Structure 1
Amino acid sequence: MTGRLHKGSRGGVLRDGAFRRLWAGTTVSQLGTSVAGVATPLIAVQVLDAGPFQVSLLTAVAWLPWLLVGLPAGAWMDRVARRPVMLAADVVSAVVVLSVPVAAWLGVLTMGQLLVVAMALGVATVFFSVAWTAYLPAMFDDADLVTANSVLYGTESGTQVAGPAVGGVLIAAVSAAAGLVVDGLSFLISALCVWRIRRPERRPAAVERRGIRADIAAGARWLLGDPYLRNLMVHGAAANLALTGMNALLVVFLVRDVRVGTAAVGLLLAVSGVGGVAAASLTPLLVRRVGGARALVACKSATGLASLLVPWASRGPGLALFVAGMAGISAGAVAANVISGSFRQAYCPPAMFGRILTCMQFVNYGAIPVGAVLGGAAAAAFGTRTALVLLSVEYALSGLIVLFGPFRGRRDLPASRSDVALAG
């Protein structure tokens, strides 16, 4: 248990130097990624005159690596130290992202390059995401994970507020490529912060290895045999299918249907993210007051309902519908991520965590490129606004999966498989 914290307050979490460096590294990386989330589709729309389907492909290829390398990455991560993986992922991300502004300034940027960069960045993101998520339980006891995750997810929401605003202002004031310069530099800063973590990594107990395929199969069997994680996986796939289709169309919708300016796009997305910041801060209190299971069900159900407001946005006062809907999505999704992420970290066997996580993400995130392509195809066939209406209805209905699943009737989340057996 060497190196793990035993403090149950947020102050205790923030007083830990190793956590502060991890927090700083993930924060600047997520800020740059948030800037790129606005900058890349705007580059495609304004510089390359891309249509809705082409823009949706950028989202699709960015998430496709979860289908291609997610499972072996999780099995491999259970065998190696996680910090070097995070360092390598940051450096690779910086190199591929900085290639875009260089190509733009040389006048040779193409849609093909944007797609390749999105794919390479997606691969690096897979390894970085699995590595830091598996690294966090090595730093904290189970009782501290909700607090630690609330800090990290709250900060992620803060970067989602600041990132679009910074990206919109940079693009309006300088150029579309300037936002991706910030993104590339942020990955280098993240690498520096992670490199400065000096705490020895606590590794899971050694277990017999039978090969990558056998390790993946063992993780999949554990996941499919658990009703709680299986339910979260199915809901995640259904929700991501709809939500990613919506997100892939938001910039096109705001620019071409609602007809707002470039800077306003960033500001609207920024204001919408405030709900996530507030939700992350309040999630530990919500869990203590109503219980983790009840809070999880409520958040996932409410998030889908909020999305129904988004497609009805219009210029002027009608933009309030967009902000309210996206703020509700942000708040519910962030709170649910804090609860479910902390639940997985405490519930799964440490020696299998990477494999179980990536088996879930293989299904959850595997739905994302499909959703992005479906969203683009629906927009091309029916129009962007109609496509958003269809996707928001599907997102709202996905909440029924959790509402009528195994969490129903429980106040608290189970702590282990034995807890599940006793409850049964």
Structure 2
Amino acid sequence: MRTVLRRPDFRLLFGALLASMAAESVLLLALAIWVKDLTGSDGLAGATIFAIIAPMTLAPLVGWVVDRYRRRPFFVAANLGTAMLLTPLFAVRDRGDVWIIYVVAALYGLSYLTLSATLSGLIRQLVPSELLADANGALQTVRQGLRLGGPLAGAALYAAVGGWLLAALAMTGFVTAAVVVGTMRVAEATPPPATLRWPAELGAGLRHLAAEPALRRALLGYGLGSLVMGFSESLIFAYVDQGLGRDAAFVGVLVAVQGVGGLVGGLLSPAVVRRTGELGALAAGVTFFGPAALALAWPDLRLGVLALLLAGVSLPLTLVGLTTLIQRRTPAGLLGRVTAASEAMVSAPQAASIGAGALLVNVLDYRLLFVVVGVVTTAAGAWLWHGRRLSPPPVLPPTAPPPLVPAPRRPTERLTPGPTR
């Protein structure tokens, strides 16, 4: 990672994303807490997360718009737009204003999808192909680190200063990201005009994902694992309550443990991509979730800590493998649509599994459900690993040999032959 961080252009982008990711990490949980505070309803608070996920259905349209513009100015405009869409939160006063939070949450979900699609293309323009995994790994390391304290910091700030000031702090983060990226100098050509009718243009990203063998296998395998991974969002509460006999607040401790694993996974992910390829890294990430879930079926705290560490390692491996694969296997003019479509194809099964897990944990033993999660994710990871040859490890450019230095000339030697006697 140190190699990619030595690049001045990437360091600027890295600093900008640090500001925007910090804003994101403190904002998401605070919106749900705000709804809970105003209404007293757990269900209405949970609906805030659904409002953020719902715009994923617009992924083809979002990706098409992103591909019509140059990445850097569009990324600047999207960050400024994200800051502006938070301003309605200053009008929230009581329970009757909860709808404003839902609207802002939905618009934020749309903005998140837009920024992700734009960022993927911007990183590809700034970083050579052989360093893409390092760039994605560095960003995932920061994201996982922020997850250690970001949500708790957001909740604490909301309790201390209220939602309005928290919204102002989040706006500052997005504006900072826009200003920093605005100072970058990136050579970008204007995207060519669309050549197909708009329905074909919108579906081009999905068609590329279906036609490219490595991408197709990646999304099918990861999608299968995602169908059950979301169960753990509800199962972890049952594990703490029924298994460990502790208060629900102890979940925060386990989430912090998982965050430590995420830091380790983010640091290791570039090396895993270089040794096994993008599909290999994705397979390792999905597979690691299997034994972690199986270990949580046995209520023992020491085993649970190891399981949460392993689950934390799995997430950045999965995301770095998939993101780098998309960047390397997608033409630049399609990257926005392909990134947005892949986000939707992964998020939809996850959202469905979160809802299913919330229902199933009330009728089935949580230990049985953890076993199901472990078996399915292990099988999905093994299937992905079997196809890892579809994305071999990247070939690093050869190291240039040292320049030849002529041997020192003796005083009697001449550089050109003289007359012979």
- Normalising by the smaller structure, the TM-score range is 0.7 to 0.9
Aligned to 1:146: 133
Aligned to 2:55: 65
Q: After superposing the two structures, state which structure 1 stretch, 333-342 or 354-363, moved more.
A: 354-363
1:332 deviates by 0.8
- Of 181, 185, 207, the residue aligned with 1:194 is 181
Q: Does 1:403 align with 2:382?
A: yes
Q: After superposing the two structures, state which structure 1 stretch, 37-46 or 138-147, moved more.
A: 37-46
Preserved CA contact (<8 Å) 1:232 1:402: no
- Of 54, 66, 70, the residue aligned with 1:77 is 66
Within a 5 Å distance, the mapping from 1:66-105 to structure 2 comes to 66-67=56-57, 69-100=58-89, 102-104=90-92
SS at match of 2:392: coil
Preserved CA contact (<8 Å) 2:237 2:248: no
- Of 103, 117, 138, the residue aligned with 2:104 is 117
1:147 deviates by 1.2
- Of 18, 25, 30, the residue aligned with 1:34 is 25
| Alignment partners' CA distance in 1, 2:35 and 2:292 | 29
- Of 336, 347, 372, the residue aligned with 1:393 is 372
Q: Deviations over 1:271-326 (max 9, x none)?
A: 4211111111122223344555444322211123323455777xxx84x6665444
SS at match of 1:124: helix
Within a 5 Å distance, the mapping from 1:310-389 to structure 2 comes to 318=301, 323-378=305-360, 381-382=362-363
1:115 deviates by 2.2
Structure 1 residues 157 and 149: alpha-carbon distance in aligned structure 2, compared to 1, 3 A threshold? same
Preserved CA contact (<8 Å) 2:217 2:387: no
Structure 1 residues 97 and 369: alpha-carbon distance in aligned structure 2, compared to 1, 3 A threshold? farther
1:73 deviates by 1.6
| Alignment partners' CA distance in 1, 2:74 and 2:15 | 17
Preserved CA contact (<8 Å) 1:75 1:215: yes
SS at match of 1:64: helix
1:233 deviates by 1.4
Aligned to 1:6: none
Aligned to 1:164: 151
Q: Deviations over 1:220-240 (max 9, x none)?
A: 333212232112212333333
Q: Does 1:298 align with 2:318?
A: no
Q: After superposing the two structures, state which structure 1 stretch, 369-378 or 208-217, moved more.
A: 369-378
In the alignment, residue 277 of structure 1 is paired with which amino acid?
Answer: L
Structure 1 residues 44 and 267: alpha-carbon distance in aligned structure 2, compared to 1, 3 A threshold? farther
Preserved CA contact (<8 Å) 2:114 2:340: no
Q: Does 1:413 align with 2:392?
A: yes
Q: After superposing the two structures, state which structure 1 stretch, 345-354 or 143-152, moved more.
A: 345-354
In the alignment, residue 342 of structure 1 is paired with which amino acid?
Answer: T
Structure 1 residues 218 and 172: alpha-carbon distance in aligned structure 2, compared to 1, 3 A threshold? closer
| Alignment partners' CA distance in 2, 1:398 and 1:342 | 21
| Alignment partners' CA distance in 1, 2:294 and 2:157 | 31
In the alignment, residue 36 of structure 2 is paired with which amino acid?
Answer: V
1:149 deviates by 1.2
| Alignment partners' CA distance in 1, 2:236 and 2:87 | 25
Q: After superposing the two structures, state which structure 1 stretch, 295-304 or 169-178, moved more.
A: 169-178
Structure 1 residues 27 and 211: alpha-carbon distance in aligned structure 2, compared to 1, 3 A threshold? farther
Structure 1 residues 218 and 28: alpha-carbon distance in aligned structure 2, compared to 1, 3 A threshold? same
Preserved CA contact (<8 Å) 1:301 1:399: yes
In the alignment, residue 89 of structure 1 is paired with which amino acid?
Answer: A
In the alignment, residue 65 of structure 1 is paired with which amino acid?
Answer: P
- Of 245, 263, 278, the residue aligned with 1:277 is 263
SS at match of 1:365: helix
Structure label with greater radius of gyration:
2
Structure 1 residues 330 and 293: alpha-carbon distance in aligned structure 2, compared to 1, 3 A threshold? same
1:346 deviates by 1.2
Aligned to 2:195: 209
1:334 deviates by 0.3
Structure 1 residues 26 and 137: alpha-carbon distance in aligned structure 2, compared to 1, 3 A threshold? same
Q: Deviations over 1:4-58 (max 9, x none)?
A: xxxxxx334223332122112222212222222332333333442222x434322
| Alignment partners' CA distance in 2, 1:374 and 1:233 | 21
Q: Deviations over 1:85-123 (max 9, x none)?
A: 3223323322343543x345x335644333222111001
Greater relative CO (CA pairs within 8 A, separation 6+)? 1
Q: Deviations over 1:375-410 (max 9, x none)?
A: 44445x549xx5696377336513423412474463
| Alignment partners' CA distance in 2, 1:65 and 1:388 | 33
SS at match of 1:118: helix
SS at match of 1:120: helix
Preserved CA contact (<8 Å) 1:246 1:392: no
Q: Which runs of 5+ in 1 are unaligned?
A: 1-9, 417-424
Q: Deviations over 1:215-258 (max 9, x none)?
A: 23333333212232112212333333433454478689979995
Give TM-score scaled by structure 1 length: 0.79
In the alignment, residue 35 of structure 1 is paired with which amino acid?
Answer: V
In the alignment, residue 325 of structure 2 is paired with which amino acid?
Answer: F
| Alignment partners' CA distance in 2, 1:99 and 1:215 | 34
Preserved CA contact (<8 Å) 1:71 1:216: yes
- Of 90, 99, 116, the residue aligned with 1:129 is 116
Within a 5 Å distance, the mapping from 1:5-44 to structure 2 comes to 10-44=1-35
Preserved CA contact (<8 Å) 2:225 2:286: no
Preserved CA contact (<8 Å) 2:33 2:155: no
| Alignment partners' CA distance in 1, 2:167 and 2:303 | 30
The share of aligned pairs that are identical, in percent, is 22
Q: Which runs of 5+ in 2 are unaligned?
A: 396-421
Give TM-score scaled by structure 2 length: 0.79
How many residues are aligned here? 393
